[in-house]
């Protein structure tokens, strides 16, 4: 396996042996380690000294089920801390098959110079971007590149937002149909790719050697067993394939934890119009797909393809968090308008969660009214035009709050708080406050025990047990994010004692390792320590591990609960790790 280094100042690509200490790392474990080793924590994220590291998970490219997740690491323009942004799509598996452990992009070309980075079995090459791609959205970029190079290549690209280096800019990763519906969304990775002068990365695995594999037979056995574990789990094997993640709209609404009107309420009157069940009906009616994988080989298939009223493709990967944000949080109950917003964000290349929180803040500030889908669509379109208003919106919720002078801004470490009210799903609140990533629901998805009764049950309204729950999940997630497995695979791991050993067996078979169960947790802890140390060196303190004050002061209906976990208690999450 190899690591490639792309120096944009010199326009040169070089190949490196994998250092011994990186050998057993992949995905987030590897991106965070390289960022911590090579990037000055006090550099400007869109300056020459930042780096962008792209790494498939350890299992990506193999037949391990649902293992095609990609990690992109950098110093985040949005949080100014370390960032691993994780996406599906077809990139990770192709990189795994090419036996590329990581691509490190560093330096900076002349202002305004843009390139396409081509990756194939012969290595990497930089080419000048063709003029017609510049200023284009991701749909056009991917279509154009696939038109030239074939439908089977994977394209990672930035839309206009990345070209403008906006803090909410994402990197789009093409899905199995070649659409830009999968994104390294959070934290502004697209701004760093834009600052590096890369409009698109094209990954072609034609003639690839296939994934690194030490013991194929043992691997296949373990992979088969783990596939069964996923399929046997009621959420992984049934709930997600049937309704996708949007099934959570009704569940969260019922629990009183669906943030509504910029986090003023925990229930949305229009929830039934935007629910997963409703979406599934519409998709069926319009001949879309209710069961769709974000990458080949996924057995959970929680993605879907959403057609417009005429039955034409509109968007895919239409997730719960997106529907929540452009829906309940903005008091919009028009699901087609929400789907359009999802499409616009995918095209311009901005994080739908950050944009949803931002639209809520813009509504709060009176830029547009709550419940105004046309206003929201117009605001999102401004981003692509590069107008001053678009640059405000595209820089996220914290930025927009400052531009329009409102103090009700739900962010942690300047990153928008997603889809689960931290007062009514308190384990999520702990994760939002303390994650090294800023507010990030996937960093320690306590919805499991708080709401879904997966991995045990912890009362979501009580503070009891939430710190331990969040910490354990943050540790486990850091490990899972290193394997290339989807975070939802953790559902099976949490409920079935046999599942984690199956993952360990796969890793040992693939890499000739002798990992034990405990090593998985040690890896997770070690990743978190590395990330937290980076953030400390960047100037973060425990004061950054806090929710905005209004969560402590305002009770959220219907349960009328406040966030009552104290700063000292939050500090216990990392107290043991620091």
Question: Which residues sit at the interface with a second copy, rule CB under 8 A?
Answer: 40-44, 46-49, 77, 164-167, 191, 194-195, 387-389, 391-392, 395, 399, 402-407, 409, 536-541, 543-544, 546, 548-549
| Distance in Å, CB of 103 to a second copy, minimum | 22
Residues 180, 340, 288: CA angle, nearest 5 degrees: 70
Work out the burial of residue 541: count CB atoms within 10 Å of its CB; fewer than 13 is exposed, 13-18 middle, 19 or more buried.
exposed
The least distance separating a second copy from the CB of residue 441, rounded to whole angstroms, comes to 23
Q: Cβ closer to a second copy: 313 or 404?
A: 404
Query: In the bound complex, what is the minimum distance in angstroms from residue 78's beta carbon to a second copy?
Result: 10
* Cα–Cα distance measured from residue 51 to residue 196, given in angstroms and rounded to the nearest whole number: 8
Cβ proximity to a second copy: between 314 and 403 the closer is: 403
Cα separation, 268 vs 256, whole angstroms: 9
Check if the beta carbon of residue 427 is closer than 8 Å to that of residue 570. Answer: no
> Cβ neighbours of residue 249 under 8 Å, at least 6 residues apart?
258, 271, 274, 275, 276, 320, 323, 324, 327, 328
Residue number, 53 or 411, with CB nearest to a second copy: 411
The residue among 165 and 233 lying less far from a second copy, judged by its C-beta, is 165
Whole-number Å distance between alpha carbons of 452 and 449: 6
Q: SS3 letters for 227-255?
A: HHHHHHCHHHHHHHHHHCHHHHHHHHHHH
Burial of 128 (0-12, 13-18, 19+ CB in 10 A): exposed
Q: CA 113 to CA 263: how far, in whole Å? A: 41
- DSSP string of 72-140? EEEE-TTTSSEEEEEE-SSHHHHHHHTTEEEEEEES--STT--EEEEEETTEEEEEEPPGGGTT--HHH
Q: Which is nearer to a second copy, 95 or 383 (CB)?
A: 383
- Quick one: 110 or 312, whose CB is closer to a second copy? 110
B/e letters for 361-392, b = 16+ CB within 10 Å, e = fewer, are bbbbbebbebebbebbbebbbbbbebeebbbb
Closest approach, Cβ 407 to a second copy, in A, equals 4
Q: Of the two residues 165 and 292, which places its CB atom closer to a second copy in the complex?
A: 165
Whichever of 248 and 403 has its CB closer to a second copy, that residue is: 403
* Residue 137, phi-psi category: left (phi > 0), alpha (psi -120 to 50), beta (remainder): beta
Q: Tell me how far, at minimum, the Cβ of 486 lies from a second copy, in Å.
A: 33
CB of 575 vs a second copy, minimal distance in Å? 18
Q: How far is the CB of 67 from a second copy (least distance, A)?
A: 35
Q: Which is nearer to a second copy, 387 or 560 (CB)?
A: 387
Q: How far is CA 481 from CA 109, 236, 262, 296, 399, in A?
A: 31, 17, 30, 18, 29
Closest distance between a second copy and the C-beta of residue 165, in Å?
3
Minimum distance from CB of 345 to a second copy (Å)?
19
Residue nearer to a second copy on the CB measure, 320 or 550: 550
Find, among 400, 475, 409, 460, the residue nearest to 439 by Cα: 409
Nearer to a second copy, 5 or 413 (CB): 413
Q: Which residues are 414's β-sheet partners?
A: none
CB of 332 to a second copy, least distance (A): 22
Closest to a second copy by CB, 287 vs 541, is 541
Q: In the 3-class helix/strand/coil scheme, how is 394-437 assigned residue by residue?
A: HCCHHHHHHHCCCCCCCEECCEECCCCCCCCCHHHHHHHHHCCC
DSSP strand pairing (12-17 vs 115-120): unpaired
What minimum distance in Å lies between the beta carbon of 90 and a second copy?
A: 29
- Minimum CB distance to a second copy, residue 506 (Å): 40
């Amino acid at each position: 396996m190899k690591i490639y280094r792309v120096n944009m100042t010199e326009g040169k690509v070089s190949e490196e042996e994998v250092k011994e200490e990186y050998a057993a790392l992949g995905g987030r474990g590897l991106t965070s380690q390289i960022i911590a080793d090579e990037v000055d924590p006090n550099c400007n994220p869109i300056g020459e000294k930042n780096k962008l590291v792209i790494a498939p998970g350890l299992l990506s490219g193999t037949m391990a089920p649902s293992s095609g997740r990609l990690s992109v690491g950098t110093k985040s323009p949005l949080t100014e801390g370390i960032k691993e942004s994780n996406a599906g799509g077809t990139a990770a598996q192709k990189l795994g098959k090419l036996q590329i452990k990581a691509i490190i992009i560093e330096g900076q070309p002349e202002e305004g110079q843009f390139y396409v980075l081509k990756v194939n079995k012969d290595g990497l090459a930089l080419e000048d971007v063709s003029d017609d791609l510049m200023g284009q959205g991701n749909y056009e970029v991917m279509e154009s590149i696939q038109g030239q190079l074939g439908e089977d290549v994977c394209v990672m690209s930035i839309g206009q937002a990345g070209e403008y280096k906006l803090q909410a800019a994402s990197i789009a990763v093409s899905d199995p149909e070649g659409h830009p519906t999968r994104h390294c969304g959070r934290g502004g990775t697209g701004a760093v790719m834009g600052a590096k002068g890369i409009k698109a990365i094209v990954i072609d695995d034609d003639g690839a050697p296939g994934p690194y594999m030490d013991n194929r037979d043992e691997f296949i056995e373990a992979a088969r067993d783990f596939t069964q574990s996923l399929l046997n789990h009621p959420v992984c094997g049934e709930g997600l394939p049937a309704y996708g993640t949007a099934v959570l709209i009704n569940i969260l609404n019922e629990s009183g934890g669906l943030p509504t009107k910029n986090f003023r309420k925990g229930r949305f009157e229009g929830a039934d119009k935007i629910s997963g069940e409703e979406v599934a009906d519409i998709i069926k009616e319009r001949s879309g797909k209710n069961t769709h994988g974000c990458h080949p080989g996924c057995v959970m298939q929680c993605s879907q393809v959403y057609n417009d009223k005429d039955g034409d493709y509109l968007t895919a990967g239409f997730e719960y968090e997106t529907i929540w944000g452009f829906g309940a949080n903005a008091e919009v109950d028009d699901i087609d308008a929400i789907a359009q917003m999802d499409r616009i964000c995918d095209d311009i290349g901005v994080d739908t969660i950050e944009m949803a929180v931002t639209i809520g803040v813009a509504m709060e500030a009176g830029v547009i009214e709550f419940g105004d889908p046309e206003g929201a669509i117009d605001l999102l379109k401004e981003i692509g035009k590069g107008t001053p208003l678009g640059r405000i919106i595209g820089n996220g919720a914290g930025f927009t709050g400052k531009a329009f002078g409102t103090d009700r801004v739900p962010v942690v470490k300047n990153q928008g708080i997603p889809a689960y009210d931290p007062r009514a799903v308190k384990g999520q609140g702990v994760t939002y406050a303390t994650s090294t990533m800023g507010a990030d629901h996937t960093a320690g998805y306590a919805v499991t025990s708080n709401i879904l009764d997966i991995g045990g049950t912890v009362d979501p309204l009580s503070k009891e047990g939430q710190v331990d729950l969040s910490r354990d999940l943050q540790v486990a997630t850091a490990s899972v994010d290193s394997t290339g497995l989807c975070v939802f695979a953790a559902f099976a791991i949490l409920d079935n004692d046999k599942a984690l050993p199956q993952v360990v067996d796969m890793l040992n078979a693939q890499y000739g390792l002798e990992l034990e169960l405990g090593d998985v947790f040690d890896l997770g802890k070690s990743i978190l320590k590395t990330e937290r140390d980076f953030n400390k060196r960047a100037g973060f303190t425990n004061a950054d591990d806090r929710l905005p004050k209004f969560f402590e002061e305002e009770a959220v209906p219907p349960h009328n609960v406040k966030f009552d976990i104290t700063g000292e208690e939050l500090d216990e999450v990392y107290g043991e790790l620091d």
